[in-house]
Amino acid sequence: MDLNEIQDPSFLKECSNEELEKLASTVRNFLIEKLSVTGGHLGANLGVVELTLALHKVFNSPEDKFVWDVGHQSYIHKILTGRTGQFDTLRQYQGLCGFPKRNESEHDVWETGHSSTSLSAAMGMAIARDMKGEDNSIVPIIGDGALTGGMALEALNHIGDEKKNVVVILNDNEMSIAHNVGALHNVLGRMRSAHKYHWMKDEMEWLLKRIPAVGGRLATVAERMKDSMKYFMVPGMFFEELGFTYYGPVDGHNFEDLFENLEYAKKTEGPVLVHVMTQKGKGYHPAETDQKDKWHGVGPYKIESGEKIKATDAPPAWSDVISESLRVIARKDNRLAVITPAMILGSKLEKFKEEFPDRLFDVGIAEQHATTLSAGMATQGMKPFLAIYSTFLQRGYDQLVHDVCRQNLNVMFGIDRAGLVGADGETHQGVFDVAFLRSLPNMTLMMPKDENEGQHMVQTAMEYDDGPIGIRYPRGNGLGVEMDKELKSIPIGSWEVLKEGKDAAILTFGTTIPMALEASKELESQGLSVRVINARFIKPMDEAMLHDLMDMNMPILTIEEAVLKGGFGSGVLEFAEENKCHNQTIERMGIPDRYIEHGSVKELYNEIGLTKDEIMKRLKQLIPEKKQRA
């Protein structure tokens, strides 16, 4: 079958199981080929090929609503809904999104890039359906990793209590981005080995009723025995206790098994959970045998060998720099412990875990818990380092406000993927943390200009004892600078002048420093002298340096790879207002007030006007004409 001919999934209704098997193989080969060029979430999608085909055969999208949790496993869904021809543009600028996207298709009813949101959204849709008197199925598809998120458990409790008709598909591959952890994961493990409780119950009831004279009474007794029986047959019966009818475990790669259980689920009144067992990476040997889940999200690779295509002699990744600094410090200070919300691999903490297995705590996809756990440790004199992506730190905001900053606890935050992240797009762009952290009392926030300064900032955070402190660092690799052998602390709130100048000043930090230096150098050749300052402390700012600049009435341009509203530049404006510098010229460059979609970081810079040429243009407008003529 030519996948490009597919416009909608209705054709699946007439497909035999044999035809579906061939289609599944075609889809897998297509994904393996296309993602070898574009990169993307390969392992997760290879694992749900049969499941997605079965869902679209049994249910009727878009009347029935598929709610994909996280959404990185929705590529097959995109193929079946007419988007095959766009896969050459997957995760590329203005191309096909790597997650469900409402403006791409009527079949995408919920957008997501963070985990554990599907069940709450599905409950909202079910309530709306019932209020409107409609009769359609709501089908959230959630992984066993996402089920560890507190929001998912809150929604399970609500759905079960309200007895809403929702068919939850639990896609259980025993992994999320990494091996899952926690007690709930162990409960699912016991369920995986259980017999088919519902099948045995129905068969037993049928046999009892066939016994002459006493069969009906025995069946009634058997019904009363049901609760005892289910505890015996399926250890825990966690979901049934929450009010769900449980079907499974189901072989997620067997169409007969899938159809049988999905049809049961579709006809069952009240909330249902279908526990589907799948193999992540199925059909591609390198991904099937991957024990570290390096095939979750991948860049380009060689199909034959699975070898990743990477630049040679690249500088170390930022996450590696921070993780290695933590190892150095941990050898000398037993107070240091590292916490991560299911991101050991993403935050490059494997080596730390190997060396200090009792000082690294993976709490699963539970950012709120991770944040307050860190606060609790800090009350006991420990020095917790929470390694967390900027976009995931958003999920622990109340805990930051209420548990960490309000109590002024010495929690260190390693804010990974700070700034634009590129292909993952708007759900993952780490551009809001400056604004929401800068506004919190007691918070200290910094960002290094290079990896050498980055390792010193880890030491700075370790020695800081006056409250919470965060280090922002971007996705990708460092600059390749020489690294000092000894770690040292940087004075809190201190900035540094990277290039002298007298006509104007650029205040910037982190990833935008090279761009600012290039602009300043080029302007110098045109007769303009622009000072470049590494404003490495976003909060507190270097007030002495700011006073000097404003005393000289030097025009200031702030540049940040973060949102402008409430950001660093806003802080400089606030300083000018508080110090009555009403004639001070200050302009800001950064992320505008909208969500930034996917594309390479360079393409996104061009889109929002965060470029060297734009910096030069703005500075020429700022500097008085008489200085330019001079």
- Annotated catalytic sites, by residue? 280, 367, 395
Reduce the secondary structure of 4-58 to three states and give it as a string. HHCCCHHHHHHCCHHHHHHHHHHHHHHHHHHHHHHCECHHHHHCCHHHHHHHHHH
DSSP state, residue 387: E
Reduce the secondary structure of 49-109 to three states and give it as a string. HHHHHHHHHHCCCCCCEEEECCCCCCHHHHHHCCCHHHHHHCCCCCCCCCCCCCCCCCCCC
Separation CA 527–CA 511 (nearest Å): 26
- What are 156-159's contacts with CB under 8 Å, separation 24+? 156/119, 156/239, 156/242, 156/244, 157/242, 158/120, 158/123, 159/119, 159/122, 159/123, 159/126, 159/243, 159/244, 159/271
CA–chain centroid gap for 151, Å, is 15
Separation CA 543–CA 550 (nearest Å): 10
Separation CA 146–CA 392 (nearest Å): 13
How many alpha carbons lie under 13 Å from residue 140 in its C-beta half-sphere? 34
What are the b/e assignments for 384-394, b being 16+ CB within 10 Å? bbbbbbbbbbb
Max CA pair span of the chain: 112
Beta strand extents in 90-195 (DSSP E only): 138-143, 167-172
How many other β-carbons are positioned within 10 Å of the β-carbon of residue 544? 10
* CA neighbor of 403 nearest in space, from 429, 368, 355, 430: 368
Tell me the CA end-to-end span of the chain in Å, nearest whole number: 71
* CA neighbor of 363 nearest in space, from 337, 324, 397: 337
Q: Provide the token pair at 548.
A: 């000097």
Backbone torsions φ then ψ of 408, nearest 5 degrees: 55, 50
Sheet holding 469-472, edge to edge: 360-362, 336-340, 383-389, 412-416, 469-472, 444-446, 537-539
* CA neighbor of 322 nearest in space, from 446, 415, 394: 415
Q: Tokens 């460059």 identify what position?
A: 589
Element (H, E) at 533: strand 530-534
Element (H, E) at 250: strand 245-251
Sign of CA dihedral 497, 499, 504, 510: negative
Sign of CA dihedral 228, 230, 232, 237: negative
Separation CA 617–CA 557 (nearest Å): 11
Separation CA 61–CA 78 (nearest Å): 12
**Kindly report the CA angle at 419 between 322 and 76, in degrees rounded to 5?**
100
Q: Provide the token pair at 462.
A: 């370790």
Is residue 508 a contact partner of residue 480, using CB atoms and an 8 Å limit? no
How many other β-carbons are positioned within 10 Å of the β-carbon of residue 578? 8
